């Protein structure tokens, strides 16, 4: 039991807040606060504190408001298992792995882009540094735009299906209504 709690604690209390703090530093602080002629140097305590604060805020929002039903169900399933019935593999696979996976993807993809693609563009030094500093913010914006477009497309398809179903349902109701029977009876007389 103690080993399970140590493993979960290391991931939840150290790894995720550190990764989240580094991500916030690279997305929000470096592009807007660091001058172009300075080297960005994150302070580990601040990045850890920012990551811990954001992780706790996110967890509270999920548990209190339930703005994401999938995550609320995952947390409730873990809570229902209780302290004694905790399953390490279930917690790692359903909660910790998806968070770390997204954080690592949002940190590694822009880094690989800045190290492999930007030097091939043969830009001036100032432009290359600016592009490297804003790569994380640009990737974050692209992910948000992709997510919003996916939700919009899903909404349009759902709306289309609802309109189609209502159209055919209304047609069936009109064919089976009593007013249509009375009109057909009068025509036959």
CB contact set of 11 (below 8 Å; sequence gap of 6+):
92, 96, 100
Residue 33: phi and psi, rounded to 5, are: -105, -30
- What local confidence, expressed as pLDDT, does residue 184 receive? 57
Are the CB atoms for 20 and 51 separated by under 8 Å? yes
Q: What DSSP element (H or E) covers 114?
A: helix 97-116
What is the pTM (predicted TM-score) of this model? 0.75
- Burial (CB count within 10 angstroms: exposed 0-12, middle 13-18, buried 19+), residue 89: exposed
What are the start-end ranges of the E strands in 17-156?
none
Residue 139: phi and psi, rounded to 5, are: -65, -40
Distance between CA atoms of residues 10 and 6, nearest Å: 6
SS3 at position 168 = helix
**What would the two tokens of residue 30 be?**
């470096």
Averaged in consecutive runs of 10 residues, what is the pLDDT profile of the chain (189 residues)? 86 93 91 81 90 91 79 86 82 91 93 90 86 91 95 95 77 53 57
Are the CB atoms for 174 and 180 separated by under 8 Å? yes
């Amino acid at each position: 039991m103690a080993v399970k709690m140590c493993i979960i604690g290391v991931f939840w209390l150290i790894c995720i807040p550190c990764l989240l703090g580094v991500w916030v530093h690279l997305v929000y602080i470096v592009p807007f606060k660091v001058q172009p002629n300075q080297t960005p140097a994150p302070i580990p305590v601040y990045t850890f504190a920012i990551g811990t604060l954001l992780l706790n805020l996110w967890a509270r929002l999920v548990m209190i408001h339930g703005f994401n039903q999938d995550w609320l169900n995952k947390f409730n399933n873990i809570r229902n298992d209780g302290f004694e019935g905790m399953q390490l593999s279930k917690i790692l696979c359903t909660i910790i792995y998806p968070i770390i996976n997204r954080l690592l993807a949002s940190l590694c993809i822009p880094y690989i882009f800045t190290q492999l693609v930007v030097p091939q563009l043969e830009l001036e030094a100032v432009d290359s540094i600016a592009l490297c500093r804003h790569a994380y913010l640009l990737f974050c914006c692209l992910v948000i735009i992709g997510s919003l477009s996916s939700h919009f497309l899903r909404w349009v398809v759902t709306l289309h299906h609802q309109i189609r179903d209502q159209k055919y349902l209304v047609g069936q109701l009109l064919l089976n209504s009593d007013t249509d029977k009375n009109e057909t009876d009068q025509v036959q007389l």
